[in-house]
A and B are shown apart, each in its own frame.
Chain A
Amino acid sequence: MSQTAAQPNRLAQGGQVDRTQALTFTFNGHSYTGHPGDTLASALLANGVDLVNRSFKYSRPRGIVAAGAEEPNAVVQLGATEATQVPNVRATQQALYDGLVASSTNGWPDVQRDIMRWVGKLGSPFMPPGFYYKTFMAPASMWMTYEKYIRKTAGLGRSPTQPDPDIYDHMHRHCDLLVVGAGPAGLSAALTAARAGARVILCDEQETMGGSLLDTRETLDDRPAAHWLQATLAALAEYDNVTLLPRTTAHGYHDHHFVTLHERRTEHLGDSAPSRAGHRQSRSRLHRVRAGQVVLATGAHERPLVYANNDVPGNLLAGAVSTYIRRYGVVPGRKLVLSTSNDHAYRAALDWQEAGREVAAIVDARTAPEGDLVAQAKAAGIRVITGSAVIEAKGAQRVSSARVAAIDVDAFTVTGKVETLECDTIASSGGYSPVIHLASHTGARPVWSDDIIGFVPTTVAGVTAAGGAHGVYPLGEVLADGVEAGANAVTALGFATTVNDADLPRVAPRHEGPACALFQVPHEKATLRAPKQFVDLQNDVTAAAIEVATLEGFESIEHVKRYTAMGFGTDQGKLGNINGMAVAARCLGQSIPETGTTVFRPNYTPVTFGAVVGRHCRELFDPERYTPMQAWHVAQGAEFEDVGQWKRPWYYPRKRAGGELETMAEAVARECRAVREGVGILDASTLGKIDIQGPDAREFLGRIYTNKWQKLAPGRVRYGLMCGDDGMVMDDGTTSCLAENHFLMTTTTGNAAPVLEWLELWHQTEWPELDVYFTSVTDHWATMTVTGPEARKLLTDMTDIDLDREAFKFMDWREGHVAGVPARVFRISFTGELAFEINVQAHYAMHVWEALFERGKHFDLTPYGTETMHVLRAEKGFIIVGQDTDGSVTPEDLGMHWAIGYDKPFPWIGKRALTRSDTRRENRKQLVGLRPKDPSVVLEEGAQIVFDPNHAIPMPMVGHVTSSYYSPTLESGFALAVVKGGHQRMGESVYLPMADGRIHEADIVGTQFVDPQGERQHV
């Protein structure tokens, strides 16, 4: 065969690429071409690009090693524009598209000439094993400096500095059976389950489904395996109970068969997701799958052999060589040496030779290999050197020769003379490791199998490994294993299956000889002095480093892993873990199963943050809750404050004469004056409202509130204080008696849901015998508070309710109409002024609100926001739970003894705790008012309070400011604070040292700054 000139390693025929179309792409600034069907890796190899990265630690040149997710070196940065930068992309998994731009993530400043190279050359005194621990433990303050440097040199890629133009989303899926991996085992498992009628999801991480069938030399029903593959995929597509997800990696196995799948939907199409039918489509999608059963048909990863300089570009996995030749029509070199411990790898040499390139030799560690593939190789005239291995690669930027010698595997020694074979490619195979990552995520530990020389997964109930993942490798057995796994899984769910052997395609029998266990290849020199023998290429962990770790006393493989960084990061030990364990086992003089295995964690391969976030970003990041008057607030130019998820008007800045907007302070001062002198209105619809019905409603209230409820008559309202059973204030609000067995409770805005849950908790768990029901009506009723000395006048002509102060007293509620709308009106006040709280069904809120403003023109009715509400209530000493309390404050600490019914018959929630020694302490922090000596000072909320500002630092801190504002009424700053023993310290001075060195002085005063007798709300 010959190759095209532009792509020196591309074969003229073969593979599944479309040679009629050329795709242009850029790597490290150079332009190349490839074809549809290529991955970035196959296209790079076709173009003879050997060097794809510099290594993490030693900065050694690295080339492509593998053809799939296990690739440790070709981890690239993708993106043609700043906004579309994607780090951490495996070139072996990235489909080629026209215009693709990629670069090495490592090798700062440049992959060809690397300033870190001396580190690698000098045998790396810079980063010995344990480097992180030894170097960066101290001084801790230097870590930031180190980290910056390490990150820059370590080539972890970088995030874009501009917003991502793409969108990502989530899909929740449920199925009877999830099959991970669409190779021969996964396909037969899925087909079996689909026939039984089960809901099946079949996902596969590659561009094309088929797994090993995509590059196998074997036949099914005497035809190339591709025929059976196409027929099976077509059959699966016909089932409406089957969902096929190609380009989809199962990256995490979570509790109770919850598996997350990352589907790359458009990453094979371009830099940014193209729109489809005029709509944006998501670049990638996270499928959150809840499965009844799971079949893991994730195959096996080939293990490279560990020999000296096994990281020089041109060292590849044997299986990858076959994949590149058979699937992509690319031969990644001119002359091959294959080093193997098993029969299966022989196909790489056969494929290589059939592609028209030269095979220097197959070097087999076994003394007498004897399988069918061995015979084929010999028949093809390939030299087979037995009882030997490649002990060292030679070459700087590319392999130039292989040093081969006879070895004694058991004695770990080189036994024969070294022969040097000229070559530019060394393929190696030390056998196969089942891909047990997902099984491992479930916490099930793998067990060693001498039969397959690898770890096979144990699984939790409901999970089955099949095929290569199960340690089953011969194709016929893999297919049968898949059928069995699929059948067992759906049978366990109650589906009837009929498994018929005749359904399976016929596989030509093939004899395979036994493999030998070879991991690290011995060298003439001892491991610590031999040229570097890499175990983990991505993290630059060598056999010597592992040996050092064991010499330093690390015996647990988990410790060795952390000491050397083996299997860290995005690699997750796909190629290196077993070899690393084998090296550790050899050094410790024990077997691999005695050494154990490390646990693989999610994620199997990196998942972009975009997919994790999905559509929960930007304007859909979190719900925004609106009251029915939201449109009005927006139209008025209100500034909003977030209160929980609610958007509440914070203040309403007006235009001043000059056309400029008021400052917040100006707006708040104006709003405060309007309420104290005229009339203001607040949208209080966000208050939690709970409808309580039942003959035991009153008894229930008495148990849940600290104060008394037995005598509250219909038509009356009472303030209530709620504690936890620890005696600490939890919520407050008013509750109205609507009828003998019917109450309406209000809660603070943020506590609506927690309070309802609290009521349900006590009713369901402790007092189910009480006949009472609770229903949230928060959203049903809109609430508007009309307050100020002019409030009654404003409402008089708008309602049929008698507003006379004797007929409708403070803390009464009345039913009637406001602006023609049925309404409940409550005479309660959070401002200290005359106030009417109007509740109407939310549908009519805007009607009533606008009618109030129409009428309010005559009274300069002023809308006010939460900031003014806070100032006005603080002037009256009304607390806000969660601001003036923090879960450590009792009603007595707040000075609210009047709201505690110690003599109530039932031991209500919180009562017992109020007599514990700690809650009776005299120096508890108690709520007081603070008046700064300098009226222009507004104390900082949270500022710490001391009694003696001259005390040596650290000064004893005796409390802090909880609420602090400027009062336009007092023309002074004022604050609420908690101070140790504060109730007994009225009139004393306290001090507040600030960060800038100033020390404010303030007097302890009562909490009611305005109208301390409370007369104004009664008018």
Chain B
Amino acid sequence: MFHIYCPYCEEHREEEEFHPKGQAHIARPEDPDACSDEAWGDYLFFRDNPRGIHHEMWLHAVGCRKFFNITRHTVSYEILETYKMGEQPTVGAEHLAREEKTAREGKTDSVQVAEGGQQAVGASDAALASVKGAQA
């Protein structure tokens, strides 16, 4: 059960108030008629399914009824940021890679972290990065 910060309500609310709406930043092609069947099919049907950072659109359905975006880690389930419709994420795969590097450099052998299947809200970036490292 996620605890999600609504950027419009400006507070954390329970997941039950929200509906997930799939991958974020899928723009409708400006000129659909100029799209090939294949391009239109991609827009309609094909979505990413990454292990790691994922930008998702959610709706605060029982609340302010606004759509907004979440950057979520699909392994730890940590929500790294939420932002309004029309805004761009500040956390991306590059961000994670950077953190990973830092974490690897400072990592000692005694630290053991999850190999997967965990959720880690608020988990340290180092832990998250190591998760990412474990899959590489």
In the complex, are there CB atoms of A and B closer than 8 Å? yes
B3 & A725 in contact (Cβ 8 Å cutoff)? no
**Assuming the A-B contacts A757-B61, A761-B67, are A442 and B118 also in contact, with contact meaning beta carbons closer than 8 angstroms in the complex?**
yes
Chain A: CB-nearest residue to B69 = A765
Expressed in whole angstroms, the minimum distance between the Cβ of B11 and any Cβ of chain A is 12
Pick from B1, B32, B79, B85: contact of A911, CB below 8 A: B32
B113 & A444 in contact (Cβ 8 Å cutoff)? yes
Cβ contacts under 8 Å, A254 to chain B? 1
Report the Cα distance A768→B67, complex, angstroms: 12
Asked if A223 is at the interface of the complex by the 8 Å CB criterion, the answer is no
Of A369-377, A455-463, A530-538, A820-828, the one with at least 4 CB within 8 A of chain B: A455-463
**Assuming the A-B contacts A460-B122, A599-B117, A907-B33, are A725 and B1 also in contact, with contact meaning beta carbons closer than 8 angstroms in the complex?**
no
Asked if B17 is at the interface of the complex by the 8 Å CB criterion, the answer is no
Expressed in whole angstroms, the minimum distance between the Cβ of B26 and any Cβ of chain A is 9
B-facing mask of A903-916, CB < 8 A → 1, else 0? 00001000111001
Chain A: CB-nearest residue to B79 = A256
A907 & B86 in contact (Cβ 8 Å cutoff)? no
Pick from A443, A444, A768, A916: contact of B41, CB below 8 A: A916
**Assuming the A-B contacts A444-B118, A445-B114, A768-B86, are A255 and B2 also in contact, with contact meaning beta carbons closer than 8 angstroms in the complex?**
yes
A-facing mask of B18-41, CB < 8 A → 1, else 0? 010100000110011101010011
Expressed in whole angstroms, the minimum distance between the Cβ of A444 and any Cβ of chain B is 6
B122 & A258 in contact (Cβ 8 Å cutoff)? no
A912 & B40 in contact (Cβ 8 Å cutoff)? yes
Q: Can you list 12 contacts pairing A with B, beta carbon distance less than 8 Å?
A: A255-B77, A255-B119, A256-B1, A256-B77, A256-B79, A256-B119, A290-B3, A443-B117, A445-B115, A460-B120, A761-B59, A761-B67
A256 & B3 in contact (Cβ 8 Å cutoff)? yes
Asked if B136 is at the interface of the complex by the 8 Å CB criterion, the answer is no
Cβ contacts under 8 Å, B14 to chain A? 290
B-facing mask of A7-20, CB < 8 A → 1, else 0? 00000000000000
State which residues 424-468 of A face B: CB under 8 Å: 442-445, 447, 458, 460-462
Cβ contacts under 8 Å, A725 to chain B? 28, 43-44
A-facing mask of B111-136, CB < 8 A → 1, else 0? 01111111111111001000000000
State which residues 77-108 of B face A: CB under 8 Å: 77, 79, 85-86
B67 & A460 in contact (Cβ 8 Å cutoff)? no
A257 & B40 in contact (Cβ 8 Å cutoff)? no
Asked if A218 is at the interface of the complex by the 8 Å CB criterion, the answer is no
Expressed in whole angstroms, the minimum distance between the Cβ of B63 and any Cβ of chain A is 13
Asked if A660 is at the interface of the complex by the 8 Å CB criterion, the answer is no
Asked if A410 is at the interface of the complex by the 8 Å CB criterion, the answer is no
Asked if A760 is at the interface of the complex by the 8 Å CB criterion, the answer is yes
Cβ contacts under 8 Å, B28 to chain A? 725, 766
Asked if A591 is at the interface of the complex by the 8 Å CB criterion, the answer is no
Pick from B32, B33, B79, B121: contact of A461, CB below 8 A: B121
Chain A: CB-nearest residue to B43 = A725
Asked if A666 is at the interface of the complex by the 8 Å CB criterion, the answer is no
Asked if A779 is at the interface of the complex by the 8 Å CB criterion, the answer is no
| A contacts with B, residue count (CB < 8 A) | 31
**Assuming the A-B contacts A445-B114, A447-B112, A912-B40, are A461 and B85 also in contact, with contact meaning beta carbons closer than 8 angstroms in the complex?**
no
Pick from B15, B45, B120: contact of A443, CB below 8 A: B120
State which residues 761-790 of A face B: CB under 8 Å: 761, 764-766, 768
Pick from A257, A447, A460: contact of B118, CB below 8 A: A460
Asked if A726 is at the interface of the complex by the 8 Å CB criterion, the answer is yes
**Assuming the A-B contacts A256-B1, A256-B2, A445-B112, are A460 and B117 also in contact, with contact meaning beta carbons closer than 8 angstroms in the complex?**
no
Asked if B51 is at the interface of the complex by the 8 Å CB criterion, the answer is no
Pick from B3, B21, B79: contact of A258, CB below 8 A: B3
A442 & B120 in contact (Cβ 8 Å cutoff)? yes
Asked if A917 is at the interface of the complex by the 8 Å CB criterion, the answer is yes
Cβ contacts under 8 Å, A726 to chain B? 44-45
Cβ contacts under 8 Å, B27 to chain A? 766
Chain B: CB-nearest residue to A911 = B32
Report the Cα distance A912→B39, complex, angstroms: 11
B31 & A913 in contact (Cβ 8 Å cutoff)? no
Cβ contacts under 8 Å, A445 to chain B? 112-115, 118
Report the Cα distance A766→B65, complex, angstroms: 16
Chain A: CB-nearest residue to B15 = A255
Expressed in whole angstroms, the minimum distance between the Cβ of B36 and any Cβ of chain A is 10
Chain A: CB-nearest residue to B40 = A912
Pick from A461, A599, A912: contact of B122, CB below 8 A: A461
B1 & A760 in contact (Cβ 8 Å cutoff)? no
Cβ contacts under 8 Å, B19 to chain A? 757
Expressed in whole angstroms, the minimum distance between the Cβ of A488 and any Cβ of chain B is 14
Chain A: CB-nearest residue to B36 = A916
Cβ contacts under 8 Å, B45 to chain A? 726
Cβ contacts under 8 Å, A461 to chain B? 120-124, 127
Expressed in whole angstroms, the minimum distance between the Cβ of B10 and any Cβ of chain A is 17
Cβ contacts under 8 Å, A256 to chain B? 1-3, 77, 79, 119, 121
State which residues 899-955 of A face B: CB under 8 Å: 907, 911-913, 916-917
B67 & A765 in contact (Cβ 8 Å cutoff)? yes
Chain B: CB-nearest residue to A447 = B112
Report the Cα distance A24→B116, complex, angstroms: 51
Report the Cα distance A458→B124, complex, angstroms: 12
Cβ contacts under 8 Å, A458 to chain B? 112-114
Report the Cα distance A916→B114, complex, angstroms: 46
A460 & B119 in contact (Cβ 8 Å cutoff)? yes
**Assuming the A-B contacts A445-B114, A458-B112, are A913 and B122 also in contact, with contact meaning beta carbons closer than 8 angstroms in the complex?**
no
